[in-house]
Amino acid sequence: MAKDVNPLISVLMPVYNGQQYLAEAIESILNQTYKHFELLLLDDGSSDNSAQIIKEFKDSRIVYVKNETNKGLIFTLNRGIGLAKGTYIARMDADDVSVANRFEKQISEFEKDEKLVVCGSFIKTFGNGSEEYISHIPVTNAQILSSIFFACPFAHPSVMIKKDSLLQLNEFYREDYKHSEDYDLWSRLVFIGNSKNIPEFLLNYRIHDKQVSTVFEDHKYQSVSKIQINLLSQFNIIPTASESKFLLNLFKGISKQDENYLNSGVTFLDKLHHQFAIKYPKYIEEHSKVLVSRWVKICGNSGMGLLNIKLAFKLPFFKVKYLKFKDFIKLLYKTLTKYSQLDKN
């Protein structure tokens, strides 16, 4: 079969009462330098002027789809996947702004690596009076696989996915993982093929009070814990309740003023390190760096003075070359200032 030199992208943009920023988001897609796409505007039963704003755009690449009632983000995204005609599926939110060459750069990455299944990018946050900054996330396949236990490795609205790879999953976005449905998807998709993030910002990510990620921040961690357990099963680890709690605290970046708790953490991380080395031996150096970085942060947040430093060097696989200089400086500062960020439960 001949290679498609101009593959179609299906852009999924869910919309629910998004009139305030919708036009700007749509324009940023229509102005892409890569032109061969369909833009599925998925109206999830909006009651504001979203539909009218959409209908003002006269572009044949726009496909307007409306749920008669508000079905929620997961239903709407899954509906969009079912309607998508493209070789690739790109995500976009109705309150963000894509950089003009985003699609062009992502398509180029898929052309360079036939095993690539998902490609995201750095994002630049803006809005709500906050200072603009570029969010740096794992870039390579090794970094993504190594860090996915402790953080969501992609900015959801920045990603492009190979549709054939997505269709290998039995389910796409799952209701059982509401408010962390993207993290759940990545936790399954990254084991199908390669993944990467382009190390430059290709999306302007808007911060505002009404966005779902802000409103439900306190309700997502049950889903995160389930996802972490699913990830560990890929490495033949069935965690105890205390190990699951420790892993969730690593995700949150919080610790305990408890030496026994941290010693148990050393044992768990050593087990994870061993199992990761079996499954991905060529990535073990990167995995070691990620584990050391996370561990040093947790030790620094424990608020136990000089014991912080002693514990930080206790990992059996610790090597000086795995320790980032900035992480060590932060550890020293936290130790000297008796800083703590603790689990209150």
Domain ranges (residues) in the chain: 9-218, 235-337
Distance (Å, whole) CA 250 – CA 37: 39
Residue 239 has pLDDT above 70, yes or no: yes
Is the separation of the CB atoms in 197 and 127 below 8 Å? no
Q: Cβ of 342: how many Cβ atoms within 10 Å?
A: 14
Distance (Å, whole) CA 335 – CA 77: 46
Tens digit of each residue's pLDDT (9 = 90 or more) over 157-186: 999 999 999 999 989 999 999 999 999 999
**Residue 168 in tokens:** 């290998």
Q: In whole numbers, what is the pLDDT of the chain averaged over residues?
A: 94
Confidence band (pLDDT; 50, 70, 90) for 213? low
Is the separation of the CB atoms in 178 and 100 below 8 Å? no
Distance (Å, whole) CA 98 – CA 39: 13
Residue 318's pLDDT is 96
Strands (E), 207-271: none
Q: If we measure between CA atoms, which residue out of 78, 91, 85 comes closest to residue 61?
A: 85
Residue 262 has pLDDT above 60, yes or no: yes
pLDDT: which is higher, 220 or 152? 152
Average the pLDDT over 258-287 and give the result: 97
The CATH homologous superfamily for domain 9-218 is: Spore Coat Polysaccharide Biosynthesis Protein SpsA; Chain A (3.90.550.10)
Residue 128's pLDDT is 75
Residue 218 has pLDDT above 70, yes or no: no
Residue 211's pLDDT is 57
Q: For the chain, give the percent of residues with pLDDT over 90.
A: 90
Q: How many CA atoms lie within 13 A of 198 on its CB side?
A: 24
Q: How many CA atoms lie within 13 A of 227 on its CB side?
A: 29
Q: Beta strands 194-206 and 116-126: pairing type?
A: parallel
Residue 215 has pLDDT above 60, yes or no: no
Tens digit of each residue's pLDDT (9 = 90 or more) over 120-147: 999 999 887 777 889 889 999 999 999 9
Q: For the chain, give the percent of residues with pLDDT over 70.
A: 95
Residue 1 has pLDDT above 50, yes or no: no
Q: If we measure between CA atoms, which residue out of 77, 69, 6 comes closest to residue 36?
A: 6
Residue 291 has pLDDT above 60, yes or no: yes
Is the separation of the CB atoms in 137 and 155 below 8 Å? yes
Is the separation of the CB atoms in 76 and 13 below 8 Å? no
Residue 252 has pLDDT above 70, yes or no: yes
